Amino acid sequence: MPANIRNSMICAIAGAALWAALAAPKAYAIAESTGPDGSNVRAVQALGQTGEGVNVGLVSARNTRTTHEAFKDPNGVSHAFSYDFTGDGIEFSGHDTRMAGEVISRGDYTHPDYIGVAPGADIHSARIADNSNQTTNAFLTDALDELVIGQNCRVIVTGVQSDDNADGNSVWTKIYDYYAYQYDVVFATASGNYASQVTIFGDAYNGITTGGLRVTDPDVYLRVGSGTNSGPTVDGRRKPDIVAPAQNQTLPSSESDTAWRTVGSDAGQTSYAVPHTAGVAALLLGAADQTSDPDDNRSEAIKAVIVNSTFPNINDKNNNPTYPAEPNNIWHGDRGYGRIDALRAYELLNADKVAEGGDITQQKGWAYDTMTSYGQHSYSVQAERNDRLVLTVTWHREITKNGPMFTEESAPKFNLDVTVKDPCDTVIFAETATLDNLEKVDVLLEKTGMYEITLDNTTAKSRGYALAFELVEPLVYDFEPIDYIVDTGDLLVISDQWLLQGEALEADLTGDEKVDFEDFAEFTLYWLNVNPAYYNE
Ligand SMILES: [Ca+2]
Ligand SMILES: [Ca+2]
Ligand SMILES: [Ca+2]
Ligand SMILES: [Ca+2]
């Protein structure tokens, strides 16, 4: 491998033409994309989390306009910093200023409510493409050395893509996985735009790859954009991991220190989606820094809780439902595991850490542990019939560096196999795949009792891993068969047992051993309730 491969870097979105073509700017767009039908970030900000003390790196073709008012605190001090690693100098760009603003904007006098995802964080913007839009692996490693080692960036977000073969084996991708593995960094990578499959850096094993969502109603993001790259990767791995709002975001731009642009179209440009992921990671790291637990800020733990807590019921590019309640649809090539949900991720990371070996009675939790050679860990979780068990396990691919060489771990790569057994010892989920370094389970449980989750290391290697789980309770009065809505199907249970008397009648909602108008009145309080994460007509 030559020491200094040159490569053409393409901005993941051509900014200038796109924003001009959009409809009139909408008030508080950045705030709305962070609402409950977007990335749900405002709910975490309302709890006092801002990502303060967390440094985020932006690796892109050009630089952030660091003098923009949106980056300044009340003392006039900017929280954005720019660096050039190409020798062609610092050059502000709209694209990179907008990405940075989406992560850390504090608003300004004319746009006080246009707050980014992690407004307490700092951003360090690295230019890695020269005036010919070429980059080298030296530009990239110099940038990451400065951002990760020099500036202690624990999150890296990327605004460029490459048309090299995105099979996880390019030097670019290995460089990313090296810094993630070696320095415990969260890489927020984009699935990229306008290609037939996920592009570099979206093929990084250790990153969280994000696709872009378009709006389906004002401020509601329920459909994958037409231009965001779909998975799997060229080598068959399940990327993207997640999706995030892209369309209709009003962001600080580079034309002046007070310029703002509304960007993102129904193409779902991933440059405007992936900053949500970076910002959420910064919020979570900021929160984890406030706890005594030493492992809740591990990059694997951040990834596990983000992926586990996604909202899965997102329509595909063609606006067809993706039916996430079906066991084969946990992951989908357009939407990955679903839309990022900052509040649910925060609540999951905030739940108590769990340990392998013991019995777990909490509704959700997470673990970070090290698996030894051919080891086995098991987690026993108490669950109720009709709960859904949602579980994510992830670890990093190991990359080593020798001079300019980045080398993947020897074959076979570290691998955990995940098995779930019900209280009768029947296997209800099992996988023996070795390709992906993330496994997610989302299964409806048919029995009440202790479920055993087993992780088997199929290799002689040892490795850290993170696990996150949540038991999602059924809707009240969504009788079997569970269909995630309380409607006429459930009313039939009441009518079938109408005026019956006795113990353990399903339709005796009041517990007085008879089914009558009191039960009907109780039932109507829940009429047409749905669980939107799983309900499809
Ligand atoms: Ca902590
Ligand atoms: Ca496996
Ligand atoms: Ca029902
Ligand atoms: Ca009753």
DSSP labels, 478-512: -PSSP-SB-SHHHHHHHHHTTT-BSTT-TT--SSS
Structure token pair of residue 68: 């923009």
End-to-end CA distance of the chain: 54
How remote is the CA of residue 487 from the centroid of ligand 4, in Å? 19
How remote is the CA of residue 475 from the centroid of ligand 4, in Å? 19
Looking at all shown ligands, the one closest to residue 501's CA atom is: 4
Looking at all shown ligands, the one closest to residue 479's CA atom is: 3
pLDDT at 368: 98
pLDDT at 133: 95
pLDDT at 296: 98
* Interatomic CA distance for residues 486 and 429, integer angstroms: 28
Structure token pair of residue 394: 């992830």
How remote is the CA of residue 288 from the centroid of ligand 1, in Å? 4
How remote is the CA of residue 256 from the centroid of ligand 3, in Å? 55
Looking at all shown ligands, the one closest to residue 509's CA atom is: 4
- Per-residue b/e over 154-191, b at no fewer than 16 CB within 10 Å? bbbbbbbbbebbbebebbbbbbbbbbbbebbbbbbbbb
Ion ligand 2: residues, Cβ under 5 Å: 415, 417, 433
Structure token pair of residue 223: 């459909």
Looking at all shown ligands, the one closest to residue 505's CA atom is: 4
How remote is the CA of residue 218 from the centroid of ligand 4, in Å? 43
Our CA angle for 294, 152, 275, nearest 5°, is 95
How remote is the CA of residue 287 from the centroid of ligand 1, in Å? 8
Looking at all shown ligands, the one closest to residue 520's CA atom is: 4
Helices of type H across 66-225 = 94-104, 137-144, 171-183
Secondary structure E strands in 350-409 = 359-360, 364-371, 376-383, 388-395, 399-402, 405-408
Structure token pair of residue 116: 């980014």
Looking at all shown ligands, the one closest to residue 286's CA atom is: 1
* Interatomic CA distance for residues 303 and 297, integer angstroms: 10
How remote is the CA of residue 504 from the centroid of ligand 4, in Å? 11
CATH topology of domain 6-329: Rossmann fold (3.40.50)
pLDDT at 110: 86
Helix (H) or strand (E) holding 301: helix 299-308
CA 284, 198, 122, 97 torsion-angle sign: negative
CATH topology of domain 476-537: Type 1 dockerin domain (1.10.1330)
Q: How far is CA 395 from CA 153, 215, 238, 414, 459, in A?
A: 20, 33, 14, 9, 13
How remote is the CA of residue 313 from the centroid of ligand 2, in Å? 25
Secondary structure E strands in 215-313 = 223-224, 242-245, 249-252, 260-263
How remote is the CA of residue 530 from the centroid of ligand 3, in Å? 9
pLDDT at 113: 86
How remote is the CA of residue 515 from the centroid of ligand 4, in Å? 4
Nearest by Cα to 106 from 60, 50, 147: 50
Helices of type H across 184-269 = none
Looking at all shown ligands, the one closest to residue 438's CA atom is: 2
How remote is the CA of residue 349 from the centroid of ligand 1, in Å? 10
Our CA angle for 266, 269, 274, nearest 5°, is 130
What is the β-pairing status of strands 153-158 and 186-190?
A: parallel
Query: Hunting for tokens 């050679």 — which residue is that?
Result: 373
How remote is the CA of residue 433 from the centroid of ligand 2, in Å? 4
* Residue range(s) of every CATH 1.10.1330.10 domain in the chain: 476-537
Looking at all shown ligands, the one closest to residue 477's CA atom is: 3
Whether residue 240 has a cis bond before it, omega within 30° of 0? yes
* Interatomic CA distance for residues 80 and 537, integer angstroms: 46
Looking at all shown ligands, the one closest to residue 293's CA atom is: 1
Looking at all shown ligands, the one closest to residue 350's CA atom is: 1
* Residue range(s) of every CATH 3.40.50.200 domain in the chain: 6-329
Strand-pairing partners, residue 195, are none
How remote is the CA of residue 293 from the centroid of ligand 1, in Å? 4
How remote is the CA of residue 522 from the centroid of ligand 4, in Å? 9
List the pLDDT tens digit at each of the 537 positions of the chain: 334 455 655 544 333 333 333 333 333 447 679 999 999 999 999 999 999 999 999 999 999 999 999 999 999 999 999 999 999 999 999 999 999 999 999 998 888 889 999 999 999 999 999 999 999 999 999 999 999 999 999 999 999 999 899 999 999 999 999 999 999 999 999 999 999 999 999 999 999 999 999 999 999 999 999 999 999 999 999 999 999 999 999 999 999 999 999 999 999 999 999 999 999 999 999 999 999 999 999 999 999 999 999 999 999 999 999 999 999 999 999 999 999 999 999 999 999 999 999 899 999 999 999 999 999 999 999 999 999 999 999 999 999 999 999 999 999 999 999 999 999 999 999 999 999 999 999 999 999 999 999 999 999 999 999 999 999 999 999 999 999 999 999 999 999 999 999 999 999 999 999 999 999 999 999 999 999 999 998
Nearest by Cα to 228 from 250, 243, 217, 215: 243
Determine phi and psi for 171, rounding to 5 degrees.
Answer: -65, -30
How remote is the CA of residue 503 from the centroid of ligand 4, in Å? 10
How remote is the CA of residue 475 from the centroid of ligand 3, in Å? 8
Looking at all shown ligands, the one closest to residue 412's CA atom is: 2
Structure token pair of residue 205: 């094993």
Q: What is the DSSP letter of 475?
A: P
Are residues 452 and 383 in contact, defined by beta-carbon separation less than 8 angstroms?
no
Are residues 321 and 223 in contact, defined by beta-carbon separation less than 8 angstroms?
no
Looking at all shown ligands, the one closest to residue 487's CA atom is: 3
Structure token pair of residue 376: 């086995």
Residue type, 181: Y
Are residues 280 and 340 in contact, defined by beta-carbon separation less than 8 angstroms?
yes
Looking at all shown ligands, the one closest to residue 535's CA atom is: 3
CATH architecture of the domain 352-472 equals Sandwich (2.60)
